[in-house]
A and B are shown apart, each in its own frame.
Chain A
Amino acid sequence: MFVKENRRFLNKTDEWIRPESTAAKVTLVPLTVPLATGVLATDLAIVHPACSLRPAWDDVYDLYWKPREMDWLRKSIMIPVITALTPPTYLVDLTGRILFPIESES
Chain B
Amino acid sequence: MIRERLQLRVRVLSRGLCALAPALLLAGCAFLNRANTPTLNLVEENLWPETTAKRAVVFPLVFPISVAALATDAVIIHPISVIDDSARDTRDALWDDLDWNASYMTESVALPWRTVGTPVIFVSDLLLRSLFDVRENVDKARRREREEQILEILDQIEDLIDRERAGEAFDLLRAKEMEINRFWYQTLGRDEEMGSRHSSLWLEAAYRGGRYEQLFASSNPYRPLMNRKSLTERGLGVLAEMRTAPSPTVRWAAFLIEASSEMDPHMLGDLVREALRDANPVLRHEVLGWIESQTLWSRVESIENDL
Which residues of A approach B to under 8 Å, CB–CB? 4, 7, 10-11, 13-14, 17-19, 25, 29, 32-33, 35-37, 39-40
Contact = CB atoms under 8 A, between A and B. Distances in A.
Contact of A25 (B104, B109, B112): B104
B106 A18 contact: no
B102 interface: yes
A33 B106 contact: no
B106 A7 contact: yes
B106 A29 contact: no
A16 to B, nearest CB: 8
Contacts of B111: 29, 33
Contacts of B112: 33, 37
B103 interface: yes
B108 A29 contact: yes
Contact residues on B (Cβ < 8 Å of other chain), bracket = 10 to 19
B104 A18 contact: yes
A5 to B, nearest CB: 12
Contacts of A7: 106
A7 B109 CA distance: 12
Interface of B: 100-106, 108-109, 111-112
B198 to A, nearest CB: 39
A47 to B, nearest CB: 14
Contacts of A13: 105
A19 B109 contact: no
Contacts of A18: 101-102, 104
Given A35-B108, A37-B109, 13 more contacts: A7-B106, A10-B105, A10-B106, A14-B103, A18-B102, A25-B104, A32-B108, A33-B112, A35-B105, A36-B108, A36-B109, A39-B109, A40-B109
